Every structure is written in C-alpha cells, then in structure tokens.
Chains A and B, each alone.
Chain A
Amino acid sequence: MSNLLEITGLTKSFGGTVVLNNVDLSVGAGEVRALLGENGAGKSTLIKILAGIHHEESGTFAIDGVKQTFRNPHDSALAGVATVHQELMISPGLSVAENVLLGTKMPTRLGKIAWGELNRTAEKWFAELGQKIDVSRPVDELSAVQMTMTAIARALCLDAKILILDEPTAALTDSEVHLLFATVKRLRERGMGIIYVSHRLEEVFMIADTYTVLRNGSKVSEGKVVDTSIPEIINSMAGREVSSIFPDRSIPGSNEILSVRDLSAKKIRGVNFTVKAGETLGIGGLAGSGRSEILRVLAGAQRRASGTIELHGNVYLPKSVGGAQTDRVVLVPQERRRDGLIPGSILSNIVITTLSKLTNFGFFSSTRMERKMGQAAWEKFDIRGKSLAQEIFTLSGGNQQKVVLAKFLALSPSLLLIDEPTKGVDVTTRSEIYRLLAELAAEGMSIIVVSSELTELLAISHRVLVMHEGRQVSILESSTTTEAEALLACYGRTA
C-alpha cells in the first residue's frame, strides 16, 4: 500500500542558507506523525511548502501516489492538504458556520445565503468531530479549543486527506488538550493522515504513532513512537556540533554592570539576574517563553510592569529605544528583515543609528564622514558585497547580519543585548560572529544573548538563564552543563 503523503529529497534554501536539506517524510492513512526539532530546524519551512506558501527547490512530494507541485495555497487545498496554523486563520466577525464553509460554495437560495442549510452543514461537520457548538454564534466568542475545532471542521468540509496541525495546543489548557486529542483520534479512524508539530514532547507520546526529527534542515531520526523515549528524542534534536567554531571564552571582570530584581512585564514574571563587566549571559528557553521580552524591556522597547533594574549601580528605567541607547544599552533585534534593516543601501543602514554624529556643523549630513564610517565597518565586519551602495536585501543572510551588527555596534554599547545572533546565518559567518562577540566580551563589554540553539548558547556564554512559560527555571554554569540538561530545563524541568 502506498503512503498517503510521500516526500522525497525535499530541499529549500533562503538567500543562500539551506533550511531544508534532502528531507524524506511519509504519512500513511490513519497515521499521526509528529514532526519534531528545535526552532529553526526546518519544520515550518516543510509545512509551508506543503501548504503552498513556499516552493520547493528540489525534491518531490506525492499525495495518493500523484506527484504534486503547489503554486499557491489554493493548489494545496485542492490537492487535499489542510493546515491548521498556530495563528488560526479565522475571520472575526463572521459566524462559526460561515468560517467553516468559507472556502466552499456556500449554499444559497436565489443568490441569498441559505442560513438554515449553512448552519446544518456546519453542525454536521462538528458532529463528525464529536463536537456540539452553536454554529450561528460569532466565531470571536469561541474558546481557544473551539476555534481550533472550527479550523479543523473547515479542513473536513474541504475534503482534506492530510491535516497539518502546527503547535495546536500552544494556547490550550490541559482539559482542552484532551478534547482536541479525542478529535484527532476520530480523524485518524477516518483514515486521515496527520502531521503533528509540537514542542510539548509529552503530547507526542500521547497522540502520535510515528515521529521524524529534523536538525539544521536535515532529517536526523525517525521511527515509531513506542520504540523511543523523551530523552532519546531530546538528544536527537540537540545533536552534536563541531565545537571548534566556538572561540574560547574570556574571564569576566568582577564588578556588576547590571542587576535585575523581580522583573515582571508582559510574558515575564519575577526574573532575577546580574551581569558582570565582560560577561556573556545566555538566555535560553522555547520560543514564546519570555526570552526576547527580557531583552526588549532592557532595551526600552517594551514596558516594565514591576521590579527594579540597576545599571552601573543607578536605577535604570529606559523610556524608549533611543533613551536606552543614550545609556549605551543597545538591542540587536531578532528579526533582521522586520526589525533590523531598512530598505536601501548597505551604507544607509550602517549609518542610521549615528546620523547626528556624521554631520557638518551638527546640522547637515556629511557624505564624506558617512562613507568613511561605512568603509571602516565594511572592513571591520568583513562584509562581502559589491559595494556600500548595494541594496541591503540582495546580500546573503550572513552578510545582512553583519550589517545589522555594524549598525548597532556603532553606538559603542556597554551592555549589548543580542537576540538570535545567528538565525538564518551560514556556518562561516556564524564562527565570525562568535569570534566578534568573544572579542567584545574580552574588551569588557557585557553581553546578553538569546538563542534557540543550546549548543551555541552554552558555547558562547558564561552562564545561561533558562526561561519556561515566562518564569525563570534556573541559571546554569555553561562549563558544567550538558546540552541535554539545558534542554530539560527549557521544558521546565530541573535535573
């Protein structure tokens, strides 16, 4: 019997960085396959290819033995693939029934929507899921799990054969999770093939039949869930990297630069830590655990709810990003494209943080001074491009990241906050970035780095603070902590 979904040799890269490398994956009828991996392992890219959002570079996939190429999400839906994204694609303001039947030919009478029939059809699909919901209610009034059910009901009525559930339980309570699982089991009995993506490994053991683990875009292991264990999967997810790309850590100074006590803000509660001069503090945890929020509060990009922060022994309350920069606290944001770069030339991006200094008579911009500064950054950060005038987004991810670093380091920070410094960056540039950060620390700069990659985090920081669901789990000494221990902490467990 051929599989419902058969993926062979799927490969995809973005701007020269390979994010999916020759991945095979299959899902049979009535099979729930868990797709696992750390952030950035390639799970989302794989899902997005199946959903018709991204296009494969090479490799093929077949549904029911028929080879498919999706030009857009519509093609994907026609071929019988339905995706329930983490951010649910529901249309607020419309009723539950309308949301379920939105992609179909809605039942009408004389051109007017036949509400009775519409509601009955929607109710029928919910009944298939074992659910009873008043489908005439506005969808906004539903609970989180009911909204997920609505998205699944829509998949059913589009006659989907393959259902992709991307982190479906992220917003659900425990009892809601059980409700969802009951539904998933019904769908399995109907012969649907299900790809289940989740960071919660316990759930995988409750619901999945098989699993596939991705790391750095490649498949590293797969098998039956009954034949494995949580620690084994964690080891497989974390893997082992060549350690030589990491430079030696310098010894930090003794005086404290930053002291954070009982810090609470949106998504973080009661965080305590200190950073010494020349020290690199790592912050780890799963995506959404509050890692980035700590940086954003320190950088003046997000408001603090309570707690105290002291910088160089003085109370520190940044009101804006600009204000924090005046105190030489500088954030290098995570999403290069969204938060780091401005469409335009390399040079215009490098100088944007220091425009006021690069002026004649403090008033008008000096082309000469800007060029000089750009040229110096070009050499110092070894930016590989055609010229300073090149459009920023035509550079590779690694070189874009160098420009981002150049732009923020131009502010000569005393405390550098850096979020995912090597996301979507090739291995050569990675080691260059590690070397740069090590040099800056050796010169006495304090650095707080957030990363989803534990190998990286443990190798470049002196200590690692681990966050779990907005709370601080522990602060680990990098030199005496194994990656598996750190990963356990990321899941909220202490060894």
Chain B
Amino acid sequence: MSLEQSITQHDMKKTTYGRLRPFLGPVSLLAIIAIFGSLYPDTFLSPTNLVTNILESVAFVGIVAAAQTVVMVVGDFDLAVGGLAAFATSTTAGMLTTASLDGTPHTPGAVLPAVLIGLAVGLVGGALSGFLVSYVGVLAFIATLGMAGVFSSLAYYASDGKPVYGLVERNFVDIARGTSLGLSNKIWIMLIFAAIIWFILDQTPLGRRMYAVGGNPEAARYSGINTKLIRMIAFTICGVGAALGGLLGSASTATANVTATQPFMLNSIAAVFIGMAMFRNGKPNLPGTILGVITLRTLENGLNFTSINDFLQSAITGAVVVIAVIPSALSRIRQSR
C-alpha cells in the first residue's frame, strides 16, 4: 500500500460517502455486468465479448485516458488529444501505406522509425500545447481547443481527407493484433503504459509535484517547485499518450482514419472524472481512470445488446457520467461551507 493510499483511507473515514467511495466504482461495474449478464447470459457474458469486445477495445481510449489523467492532475484539461492522435497516426500511416494518396503504389517504409516519428509528433504537439498553457498563459481550455482544430486539420491535410488503407506491414498490425503470453498485445500495451503513468504519478517526485501543482499552484511555487515546467511536462506526456492510443487504433484496423480518434477527448475526460469520483478524495488518479474507462465501455457494450435505439445509447452513457460525479460534487459543496 502506497503512502498516498494510506493517507486517503484515513481521510475517507470522515463521512459515509467517504467510507463507501472506494467501493462505488467496482460495485457499479459489477452491477452493470450483473444486469446485462442476467439479461443476455449467453452473449454478453461470453468470454469473447468480455475479453475481445470490452477489454481489447478499451485499450485505445484507456491509453489516452491514462495520459489525460496526468494533465488533469496538474489541474488542466487537454482537449486536443483526439486531434493530436489523428495527426500522429496519419503521419505514420503516410510512411507505411502500400497505396499513395493518388492511388499509385507506394513502398512502405520501415515500421520502427515510422512509429517513433508518430510518437514524436505526439511529444512535440503535446509540448506545444503545454508551452502555450504554461509559459504563454493561455487558458488550457482555449489553447487545447485551438490546438485540437490545428491538429485535426493537419491530419486531414496529410491524408487528403480520406482514410488511409493498406497498412498491411506485418510488424505494424501485429503491434495490435498479435498476442503475448495468451493476452492481446493491445491489452499489454495499455497495461504497460498505465503502469508507467501510475509509477510516475505515485512513485516519483515528479508525480508528487504534479499533484502539488494541481492542489495549490501558488503554494507549490512557494515550495520551490518549477510549476511552469511541471505543467508543460504533463501536457507533453499527454501528447505522447494520445499518439500511442491513435497508433494502436490504426494498427488494429490497418487503417488510419481521422474520425476514429474523435471520441478520445470526451471519453478520456469522462473516464478521469469517474475515477476522481471513486478514489483518492476526488483527485485524478490512475487506477480510477482505468476502472472508469472499463466501466464506460462495459456500459456501451451492454447497451448494444438491448433494443434501445443506438442514438439514445449515448444519452444513457452521458447521463451515467454526470450521475457518477454528483456525489463527489455534493460532498465538495458541503465541505466548502
């Protein structure tokens, strides 16, 4: 048990809600599984559905949400994750495709450099957003909203507005489609990335300083922390995560499609909020985020089995996100009185 965890457990003894909070997440996830499981025992509860449709498909958003957690720990949002993921993906795809934009054959480049360049696009893009927010002083909301537009536009430009097909290079698609030790690579990559983020946030001075900046920026500054640099690093990490999530998605479908990354922004932020409501006294935290992503995906998946109109399903997921954060919002209002 880490120090932060023991501290949180102490604080939570204060209220009934505080005492119940650590169980809310797992219990609601189990409740969702129980409800859909009893309605559709053969289909929803089948291993294929639980593993392939839920866990594997959670990997992309899971990575982006883990990255988003870092930015939210320092007290900001990154609305550009979707756009940046698209830009990074189309950059890599342009190098790996077997068909050029004009239809002529194209000799695919080497996989590793192409992937690294994609990740580098994420790093530079994230650092740029971070620089605007931290050193120039533009509100994160505006800066990353603007950058979201810039990155998506560049992504469309790089792919001429069309999905890039023909990413058939084995080494590339195997990143997502292969298995290791009986588990899909997608799940492994998400777990490893999540573990790295967890390690940074919980086990290093850098992460602790990030929480300090998010908790009280002025006090953090007077504590001698370089708050500007810390915020920029958070955005940079987030950019890399966004690119990784996008690349993994395109490896999985052998296609780079700008629209595929669009749900990243809302889903990642929603997942972090759900995680905040569940653990750590309302602070963004990695285990909560991952549980949040899985909960959202399970709900979506379960709703697919029902006869509820597709268009209404998003309304239900949206409502669940809002309801999930109500208790913590209410307890915060009570505390501030």
Contact = CB atoms under 8 A, between A and B. Distances in A.
B177 interface: no
Contact of A411 (B218, B219, B224): B224
B219 A355 contact: no
B204 A371 contact: no
A321 B212 contact: no
- Looking at B2, B219, B221, the one whose CB has the most chain A CB atoms below 10 A away is B219
Nearest to B207: A365
B216 interface: yes
A344 B226 contact: no
A321 B7 contact: no
Nearest to A330: B224
B208 A355 contact: yes
Contacts of A320: 224, 226
A102 B280 CA distance: 42
A352 B7 contact: no
Nearest to A364: B203
Interface in B230-257: none
Nearest to A390: B10
Given A342-B216, A343-B215, A365-B208, A407 B223 contact: yes
Given A342-B216, A365-B204, A389 B222 contact: no
Given A338-B218, A339-B218, A348-B208, A353 B223 contact: yes
A356 B3 CA distance: 16
B10 A387 contact: yes
A77 interface: no
Size range of the chain A interface in the assembly:
35 or more
A324 B3 CA distance: 29
Interface string A389-410: 1110000000000000001000
Nearest to B337: A55
B156 to A, nearest CB: 38
Given A342-B212, A367-B2, A370-B3, A353 B10 contact: no
A352 B208 contact: yes
Contacts of B11: 345, 389-391
Size range of the chain B interface in the assembly:
20 to 34
B220 interface: yes
B105 interface: no
B151 interface: no
A322 B226 contact: yes
A333 interface: yes
A347 B204 CA distance: 16
Given A352-B212, A355-B208, A365-B205, A345 B7 contact: yes
Interface in A336-369: 338-345, 347-348, 351-353, 355-356, 358-359, 363-365, 367
B205 A355 contact: yes
A353 to B, nearest CB: 5
Contacts of A331: 222
B21 interface: no
Contacts of A355: 205, 208-209
B211 interface: yes
A301 interface: yes
A452 interface: no
Contacts of A351: 208
A325 interface: yes
A342 B224 contact: no
A363 B219 CA distance: 23
A348 B214 CA distance: 14
Contact of A389 (B7, B209, B215, B224): B7
A208 to B, nearest CB: 36
B216 A341 contact: yes
13 contacts: A320-B226, A321-B222, A322-B226, A342-B212, A342-B220, A348-B212, A351-B208, A352-B209, A352-B225, A365-B203, A370-B3, A386-B10, A387-B10
Give the 6 A-B CB pairs with smallest separation, nearest first.
A355-B205, A389-B10, A345-B7, A322-B224, A342-B215, A325-B224
Given A321-B224, A344-B211, A345-B11, 11 more contacts: A322-B226, A331-B222, A333-B219, A343-B216, A344-B215, A347-B3, A348-B208, A355-B209, A364-B199, A365-B208, A407-B223
